[in-house]
């Protein structure tokens, strides 16, 4: 007896060969829709893969025509036994395909020619099925037939649409229902991830059953609490010798109680001065070279604090530029099933329209943490320690504000016999610092990032140094 999914693949193959086909299976059948979303071959892919991957759209609002773009990449080995991990990038307005998939945790990374791919040996699909989501509408390949939707995005709408996406996506991929599910992300996803987790927990409670088997979430270099994140940011820049004493004092005076998204003119002016003092460096990774092709400079980077961007086989600070070339290729968009309804003049890694028109952005999500810690979710926060956007000092101040009880004190963790960073465990939360990593931890320290996700999913502590016995 031929398995159902194999039958569908055979049916699609016969239809392609004959040229015409009357479908015996309705496209409402989830496995039939899955096969329509299957990616057969990516342009510029010269290496073989042993896993399947799917991309396409899930409608989240029929009336306005809002549809979110996803890319599911199955685990390399035994995907049926592996958990499902959702990855979200921030901005707000930045694509999880551009960053999470193409330069961080995905298997398909882009060479400098912008046309060919190489396989990331540290892809997180070594340990899980990875789901990337471009959210909200107006980001990446996600779109709306109602143009005003792009001007009306905010935290609440994003969380609501992402929940709707997941509920509908699980109907298309029912084999993942009941599977252990985790949410991960970085930067402004420090809002998205806990807010979506909260929405899921509340939805499950209202339904009196776990519609989504959420087990926990993990965020990196995450915007969490505006006051403490600003406090840590200014201290980090000053202590690293990047800004003057005078600017440090003015930043604390003019920006300490400001929003990271909606800031005042006086705060903006002193941020410009700080940017001038920083010079031509990459604030997302202060010890690696900036992309010389990036003419926007560090001033724009500081004002757009949470826009992530930029390894290839060797570190390449211009990875974001390669993504822009690759994902604008018509043959790439065709392979990924990009909808004809998606019709911007140019695909962008981040949307200025979405970012500049962002609505609600609470000054803190610590209240969400307090609620979710009580719910029993596994919650981790990690931080690359060479990031000057949401630095390690910011995250430490933010965690301190939660007043949690320490269960395992601060200590070094190891990878391949070397210190990979430092960690501390609290009641309900674990903090992990990643040594030598910038804002995008998996970009700069991919091997350490893979160790991080392995430990998180295994529900263990970060590895410690195993001393060899004298015998």
Q: Could you say which of 37, 134, 316, 387 is catalytic?
A: 387
* Sequential DSSP letters for 258-300: S-SSS--HHHHHHHHHHHHHH-S--TTSTTSPPPTT--SHHHH
Active-site annotation holds for 282: no
Length of the chain measured in residues: 471
Q: Number of H helices and number of E strands within the chain? A: 15, 13
**Cα 330 to Cα 332: distance, rounded to the nearest angstrom:** 5
H helical segments located in 97-218: 155-172, 189-207
Distance CA 344, CA 467 (A): 57
Count of CA atoms in the C-beta half-sphere (13 A) of 47: 13
Q: Active site includes 152?
A: no
Q: In terms of C-beta density within 10 A (0-12 exposed, 13-18 middle, 19 or more buried), how is residue 28 classed?
A: exposed
d(CA 464, CA 254): 42
- Rg, Å, the chain Cα set: 22
Q: Is 470 exposed, middle or buried (0-12, 13-18, 19+ CB in 10 A)?
A: exposed
Catalytic residue among 144, 187, 275, 351: 187
Active site residue 187: yes
SS3 381: strand
Q: Is 398 exposed, middle or buried (0-12, 13-18, 19+ CB in 10 A)?
A: buried
**CA-CA distance, 240 to 277, in Å (whole number)?**
12
Helix (H, G, I), strand (E, B) or coil at 398: helix
Give the span between the Cα atoms of 207 and 199, in whole angstroms.
Answer: 12
Catalytic residue among 144, 439, 444, 455: 439
Q: Which residues are catalytic?
A: 187, 387, 439
């Amino acid at each position: 007896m031929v398995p159902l999914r194999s039958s569908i693949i055979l049916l699609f193959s016969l239809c392609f060969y004959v040229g015409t086909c009357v479908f015996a299976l309705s496209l409402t059948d989830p496995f039939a829709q899955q096969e329509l979303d299957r990616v057969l071959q990516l342009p510029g892919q010269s290496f073989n893969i042993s896993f399947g991957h799917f991309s396409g759209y899930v409608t989240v609002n029929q009336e306005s025509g809002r549809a979110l773009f996803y890319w599911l990449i199955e685990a390399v080995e035994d995907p049926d036994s592996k958990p499902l991990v959702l990855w979200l990038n921030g901005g707000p307005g930045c694509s999880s395909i551009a960053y999470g998939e193409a330069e961080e945790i995905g298997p398909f990374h882009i060479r400098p020619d912008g046309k060919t791919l190489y396989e990331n040996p540290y892809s997180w699909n070594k340990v899980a099925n990875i789901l990337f989501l471009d959210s909200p509408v107006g980001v990446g390949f996600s779109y709306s037939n109602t143009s005003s939707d792009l001007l009306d995005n905010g935290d609440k709408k994003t969380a609501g649409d992402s929940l709707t996406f997941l509920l509908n996506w699980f109907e298309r991929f029912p084999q993942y229902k009941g599977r252990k599910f985790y949410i991960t992300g970085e930067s402004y996803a420090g809002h998205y991830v806990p807010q979506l987790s909260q929405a899921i927990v509340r939805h499950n409670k209202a339904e009196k059953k776990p519609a989504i088997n959420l087990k926990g979430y993990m965020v990196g270099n995450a915007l969490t609490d505006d006051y403490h994140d600003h406090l840590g940011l200014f201290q980090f820049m000053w202590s690293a010798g990047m800004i003057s004493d005078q600017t440090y004092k003015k930043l604390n005076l003019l920006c300490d109680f400001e929003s990271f998204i909606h800031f005042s003119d006086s705060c903006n002016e002193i941020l410009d001065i700080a940017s001038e003092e920083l010079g031509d460096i990459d604030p997302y990774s202060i010890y690696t070279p900036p992309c010389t092709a990036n003419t926007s400079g560090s001033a724009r980077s500081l004002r757009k604090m949470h826009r992530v961007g930029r390894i290839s086989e060797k570190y390449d600070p211009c990875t974001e530029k390669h993504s822009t070339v690759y994902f604008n290729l018509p043959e790439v968009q065709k392979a990924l099933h990009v909808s004809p309804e998606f019709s911007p003049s140019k695909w962008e890694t981040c949307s200025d329209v979405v970012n500049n028109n962002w609505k609600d952005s609470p000054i803190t999500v610590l209240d969400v943490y307090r609620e979710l810690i009580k719910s029993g979710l596994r919650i981790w926060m990690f931080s690359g320690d060479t990031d000057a956007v949401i630095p390690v000092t910011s995250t430490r101040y933010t965690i301190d504000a939660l007043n949690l009880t320490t269960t395992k004190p601060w200590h070094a963790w190891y990878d391949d016999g070397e210190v990979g960073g430092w960690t501390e465990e609290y009641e309900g939360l674990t903090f992990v610092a990643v040594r030598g990593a910038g804002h995008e931890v998996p970009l700069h320290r991919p091997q350490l990032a893979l160790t991080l996700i392995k430990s998180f999913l295994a529900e263990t502590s970060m590895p410690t140094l195993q001393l060899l016995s004298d015998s």
